[in-house]
């Protein structure tokens, strides 16, 4: 069994979603952590699940069948970032 910390689709998905989130945050004119995490979290969930759906051998839970970060499917990291974004926005 091969242990992976990340894979190329996971890094690409994370980079693209955070790039979009930074751009949206710049257009809005805020530099708070909450909106960044919220936007990036939602986008990473959408992008990773779409990637897994359209791959012939994709699976929604197996890290090697889609994007993965730190041994977890990328969409699960996106769910965590979305929750953190909501918490940061409510707290501030």
Query: Residue 10's closest CA among 67, 48, 78?
Result: 67
Rounded Cα gap, residues 47 and 7, in angstroms:
15
**Most confident by average pLDDT, 20-24, 65-69, 70-74:** 20-24
At residue 67, the pLDDT reads 83
Q: What percent of the chain has pLDDT over 90?
A: 51
Q: Model-level pTM?
A: 0.84
**16-52 residue pLDDT tens:** 999 999 999 999 888 889 999 999 999 999 999 998 8
Q: DSSP readout, 27-87?
A: HHT---HHHHHHHHHHHHHHHHHHHHHHSTT--SS-GGGS-EETTEEHHHHHHHHHHHHHH
pLDDT-derived band at 3, boundaries 50, 70, 90: low
pLDDT-derived band at 4, boundaries 50, 70, 90: low
Q: At what angle do helices 33-54 and 74-91 cross, to 10 degrees?
A: 160
At residue 69, the pLDDT reads 82
Query: Of all helices (H) and strands (E), which one includes residue 9?
Result: helix 8-28
């Amino acid at each position: 069994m091969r242990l992976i910390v990340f894979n190329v689709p996971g890094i690409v998905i994370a980079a693209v979603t955070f790039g979009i989130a930074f751009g949206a945050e710049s257009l809005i004119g805020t530099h708070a952590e909450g909106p960044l995490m919220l936007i990036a979290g939602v986008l990473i969930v959408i992008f990773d699940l779409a990637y897994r759906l359209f791959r012939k051998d994709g699976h929604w839970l197996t890290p090697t069948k889609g994007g993965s970060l730190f041994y977890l499917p990328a969409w699960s990291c996106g769910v965590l970032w979305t929750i953190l974004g909501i918490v940061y926005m409510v707290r501030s």
